[in-house]
Amino acid sequence: MRNTDEHALQAEFDRRVAAEEKIEPTDWMPDDYRKNLIRQMSQHAHSEIIGMQPEGNWITRAPSLRRKAILLAKVQDEGGHGLYLYSATETLGITRSEMIEALQTRKAKYASIFNYPTLTWADIGAVGWLVDGAAIVNQIALQRTSYGPYARAMIRICKEESFHQRQGYELMLEMAKGSPQQKQMAQDALNRFWWPSLMMFGPHDGDSAHSSKSMQWKIKRESNDTLRQRFIDQTVPQIEVLGLEMPDPEIKWNETRGHYDSGEINWDEFYKVINGNGPCNHQRIKHHVKAHQDGEWVREAVRAYRAKQARKKDERAA
């Protein structure tokens, strides 16, 4: 049985969430709210970091200096997003090493999309346009999430994601309006990245384990299906401008709904990927583990520096 103090704290928390006031790290919050935020935010951070791999893979093969500079900047931005999000998650009482361990031991997930390979240069366009495009649709809503540090991180991240989406679309436009072979590459990239991009929004609302609590706490502001439909509605006209074929033959404007209808996602594939058996899951984690091990000397140097500073402080105090 909870005591009166805890009831009062819970009532105050509920009032603040209802009044759209941000919950801050030192505020009281229910344990399940904290746990759910740690889960979502750390998975989000892991997605940003793992997402550097499929694009980083093309930096040395970018076809011009301009394209290379853009791609370098984008991949660095993703690294920065991961770092803001890890820092924001640390304010909830989990350490960076605990989060990294959860990723590397596959206890924590990361966005399914990054388990697909980037096979051609056109894939870099498709990733910027579709993957970052889907991420923005989701993250604009998260700018209003109830946890202050997460909401504030999202504001900056969305600005950068917007540049990422535009550079991807510009690249696709150049390919789609280029030679027949380039147009074919653009079509192929669209066909392969369309469905995994729709999967980024998660299971249908009825199958989403965390949605109802997350919506009640205003961690999530809109449902998986609402955001997915918004992405489809905004992307279909962009496909038309590119002059490419629709990646799904069932895409059709529905006058009554005022939205595009579309085909069903292959949910078996989705669950296979999120449970560790997609085309690149093994490769992505293996690469992360190696990069982390290669960076051990940096962490060691930081620890040594901190120890030295602490010794100096003690000496001064003595």
Summarize as ranges the residues that interact with ligand 3HC (CB under 6 A). Answer: 39-40, 43-44, 47-48, 51, 78, 109, 111-112, 131-132, 135, 138, 199-203, 208-211, 214, 220, 224, 274
Shortest gap between Cβ of 22 and ligand 3HC (angstroms)?
17
Shortest gap between Cβ of 241 and ligand 3HC (angstroms)?
22
Shortest gap between Cβ of 77 and ligand 3HC (angstroms)?
8
Q: Distance between CA atoms of 199 and 211, rounded to whole angstroms?
A: 16
Task: Select 243 or 276, whichever has its Cβ closest to ligand 3HC.
Answer: 276
CA distances 189 to 66, 171, 177, 247, 291, Å, are 21, 12, 15, 10, 28
Task: Select 187 or 197, whichever has its Cβ closest to ligand 3HC.
Answer: 197
Task: Select 103 or 244, whichever has its Cβ closest to ligand 3HC.
Answer: 103
Task: Select 17 or 199, whichever has its Cβ closest to ligand 3HC.
Answer: 199
Residue carrying the six token digits 């388990």: 115
Shortest gap between Cβ of 220 and ligand 3HC (angstroms)?
6
In sequence order, the β-bridge partners of residue 304 are none
Residue 12's CB is within 10 A of a number of other CB atoms, namely 12
Task: Select 135 or 185, whichever has its Cβ closest to ligand 3HC.
Answer: 135
Shortest gap between Cβ of 307 and ligand 3HC (angstroms)?
35
Shortest gap between Cβ of 232 and ligand 3HC (angstroms)?
15
Shortest gap between Cβ of 11 and ligand 3HC (angstroms)?
25
Task: Select 149 or 254, whichever has its Cβ closest to ligand 3HC.
Answer: 149
Residue 133 in tokens: 């495009």
Residue 197's CB is within 10 A of a number of other CB atoms, namely 27
Please count the residues of the chain.
318
Q: What is the DSSP letter of 113?
A: G
- Sign of dihedral through CA atoms 83, 281, 273, 104? negative
**Pair 138, 150: CB distance under 8 Å:** no
Task: Select 183 or 202, whichever has its Cβ closest to ligand 3HC.
Answer: 202
Burial of 182 (0-12, 13-18, 19+ CB in 10 A): middle
Shortest gap between Cβ of 159 and ligand 3HC (angstroms)?
13
Q: Report the C-alpha dihedral over residues 50, 218, 90, 276, rounded to 10 degrees.
A: -30
Q: Give the rounded distance of the alpha carbon of 39 from its chain centre.
A: 13
Q: Distance between CA atoms of 104 and 144, rounded to whole angstroms?
A: 30
Residue 211 in tokens: 């949605």
Q: What is the DSSP letter of 120?
A: S
Task: Select 67 or 221, whichever has its Cβ closest to ligand 3HC.
Answer: 221
